[in-house]
């Protein structure tokens, strides 16, 4: 695919992000695009590799291999190289409902399994994908697709995150009448309020939601099932219900002082910031401000990075990101071979900005919090930490504090970014649904059926906290299962 010798002739190139010094002053997206000619050369690097692992979408143990959506990556790489963007978009749309989302926020599992990546930097698949869809939008070629006929079957989708949107989109195209219920004031779920604007501009989410409305999907906002809309009523009024409520119960920090003023979950910090930004450009002050504060972010990953980037834009005094795990290697290790996802150290936009501003990486590894200290007013004033080492005890790796490594850090804002334990349990208990050992809704991947007839589950509330691309896959699969159930 592409140019047969392209991978030998052209190096991997990505468009330069907006400089940290410039972008940290605003909330605009920091990624940019190539012109078409440069993009064509990147498409030309796609090899005629025989077996393209990039779109396999498999799990090896706990590691992903290739794109979970089974995107036809070699095909649209070849079409981009040949300058046929319209056909590239058609092929891309066959498997991915929202390439404008995955092209911005997906970690690109496909690139981790690119055959070229065995010996050279992989093809810039994610950037090409994003450029295809953005070009089509810019040229006015992404148009509403109204279903040709209706089945008159009514389906409720609870939650408008990536799995809910994908499920609703698929079901609507199948001819079912779909209503999406969202408890927030805007549709999009984590796409809207869980990911900061500089990574995913909210106009991109709104654009897709409006397109889906034109196609016939109904959105009911400010509607929380089980609270201001009875769960029993929902089940009785619709022919099928799909729960796409996400995994939003945060992992708690169980140390002294965790309940002090100034200690917040990352999800609350990020959501309030985005809502205030959209409502008033932050002028209403209805957000948790990091301005002039020493900020400590507990936890790594994308959410921790987002907290770092957001705190810097507020004008924090300092920001430190604590990770209990060891620093990852710069290159693959022998126990992490291709085509597994490479578990290597990556410096994301938040760390880049902190390095630019403070002169050092904000991340500190093998460090855990032992206590949060407050002042006389019950507000955070310091965080106590200790370094740890990981040891094998009876077949389990456990973290052991290192004596003498204790430290007290001045701090006025603590952000907990330690991941999520599972879905919130209120609605699950109201519907008396069975759950698995991790508190997720019990439903098999083959049919997504819950323990209650006519109720299905998809996304993080079924499989646990994961990536946007896996959520879209779940939504698509659940739609197929619902369609089979309704049209049996």
DSSP conformation letters of 153-171: -EEEEE--SHHHHHHHHHH
Other C-beta atoms lying within 10 Å of the C-beta of residue 233: 10
Rounded CA gap, 274 and 263, in Å?
19
Rounded CA gap, 434 and 441, in Å?
6
| Total residue count of the chain as it appears in this document | 488
pLDDT on residue 59 = 84
In the sheet that holds 363-364, the strands lie side by side as 263-265, 413-416, 294-298, 318-322, 363-364
Give the tokens for residue 367: 């460090």
Rounded CA gap, 411 and 317, in Å?
10
pLDDT on residue 60 = 80
Nearest by Cα to 180 from 155, 214, 145, 204: 155
Rounded CA gap, 471 and 456, in Å?
14
| pTM (two decimals) | 0.96
CB environment 177-208: b (16+ within 10 A), e (fewer):
bbbbbbbbebbbbbbbbbbbbbbbbbebbeeb
Interhelix angle 85-95/73-81, rounded to 10 degrees, is: 170
Is 104:200 a contact under the CB 8 Å cutoff?
yes
Is 382:409 a contact under the CB 8 Å cutoff?
yes
All structural domains of the chain: 6-138 (1.10.1060.10), 154-248+421-486 (3.50.50.60), 252-418 (3.50.50.60)
Nearest by Cα to 465 from 419, 425, 416: 419
- 363 has which bridge partners? 321
From the number of C-beta atoms within 10 Å of its C-beta (0-12, 13-18, 19+), residue 469 rates as: buried
* DSSP string of 436-451, one letter each residue: -TTS-B---TTT-B-S
- 457 has which bridge partners? 243
Provide the residue-wise pLDDT of the chain in tens; the chain has 488 residues: 568 899 999 999 999 999 999 999 999 999 999 999 999 999 999 988 988 999 998 888 777 889 999 999 999 999 999 999 999 999 999 999 999 999 999 999 999 999 999 999 999 999 999 999 999 999 999 999 999 999 999 999 999 999 999 999 999 999 999 999 999 999 999 999 999 999 999 999 999 999 999 999 999 999 999 999 999 999 999 999 999 999 999 999 999 999 999 999 999 999 999 999 999 999 999 999 999 999 999 998 899 999 999 999 999 999 999 999 999 999 999 989 999 999 999 999 999 999 999 999 999 999 999 999 999 999 999 999 999 999 999 889 999 999 999 999 999 999 999 999 999 999 999 999 999 999 999 999 999 999 999 999 999 999 999 999 999 999 999 999 999 999 98
Is 439:424 a contact under the CB 8 Å cutoff?
no
Q: Which residue has the tokens 């699950």?
A: 428
Question: Residue 131: helix, strand or coil by DSSP?
Answer: helix
From the number of C-beta atoms within 10 Å of its C-beta (0-12, 13-18, 19+), residue 213 rates as: middle
């Amino acid at each position: 695919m592409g140019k047969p010798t392209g991978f030998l002739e052209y190096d991997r190139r990505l468009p330069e992000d907006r400089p940290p010094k410039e972008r940290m002053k605003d909330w605009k997206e920091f990624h940019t695009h190539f012109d078409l000619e440069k993009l064509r050369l990147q498409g030309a690097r796609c090899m005629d590799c025989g077996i393209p692992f990039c779109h396999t979408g498999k799990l090896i143990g706990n590691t992903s291999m290739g794109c979970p959506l089974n995107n036809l990556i070699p095909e649209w790489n070849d079409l981009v190289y040949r300058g046929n963007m319209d056909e590239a978009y058609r092929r891309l749309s066959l498997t991915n409902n929202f390439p404008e989302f995955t092209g911005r926020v997906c970690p690109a599992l496909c690139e981790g399994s690119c055959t070229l990546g065995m010996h050279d930097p992989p093809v810039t698949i994610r950037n090409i994908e994003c450029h295809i869809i953005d070009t089509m939008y810019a040229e006015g070629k992404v148009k509403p697709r109204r279903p040709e006929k209706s089945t008159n079957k009514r389906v409720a989708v609870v939650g408008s995150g990536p799995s809910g949107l994908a499920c609703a989109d698929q079901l609507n195209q199948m001819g079912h009448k779909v209503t999406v219920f969202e408890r927030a004031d805007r549709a999009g779920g984590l796409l809207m309020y869980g990911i900061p604007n500089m990574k995913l501009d909210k106009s991109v989410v709104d654009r897709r939601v409006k397109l889906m409305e034109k196609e016939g999907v109904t959105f009911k906002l400010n509607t929380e099932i089980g609270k201001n809309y009875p769960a029993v009523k929902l089940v009785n009024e619709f022919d099928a219900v799909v729960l796409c409520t996400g995994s939003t119960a945060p992992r708690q920090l169980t140390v002294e002082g965790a309940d002090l003023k100034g200690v917040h979950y990352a999800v609350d910090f990020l959501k309030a910031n985005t809502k205030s930004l959209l409502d008033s450009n932050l002028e209403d002050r209805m957000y948790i401000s990091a301005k002039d504060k020493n900020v400590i972010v507990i936890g790594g990953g994308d959410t921790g990075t987002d907290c770092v980037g957001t705190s810097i834009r507020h004008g924090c005094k300092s920001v430190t990101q604590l990770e209990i795990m060891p620093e990852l290697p710069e290159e693959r290790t022998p126990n992490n071979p291709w085509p597994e996802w490479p578990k290597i150290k990556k410096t994301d936009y938040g760390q880049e900005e902190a390095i630019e501003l403070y002169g050092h990486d904000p991340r500190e590894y093998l460090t855990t919090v032992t206590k949060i200290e407050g002042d006389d007013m019950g507000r955070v004033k310091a965080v106590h930490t200790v370094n740890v080492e990981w040891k094998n005890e009876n077949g389990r790796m456990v973290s052991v504090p290192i004596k003498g490594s204790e430290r007290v850090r001045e701090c006025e804002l603590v952000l907990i970014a330690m991941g999520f334990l599972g879905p919130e349990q209120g609605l699950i208990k109201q519907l008396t649904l069975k759950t698995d050992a991790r508190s997720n809704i019990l439903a098999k991947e083959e049919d997504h059926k819950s323990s209650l007839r006519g109720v299905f589950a998809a996304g993080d509330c079924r499989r646990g906290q994961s990536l946007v691309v896996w959520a879209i896959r779940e939504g698509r699969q659940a739609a197929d299962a619902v369609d089979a159930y309704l049209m049996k």
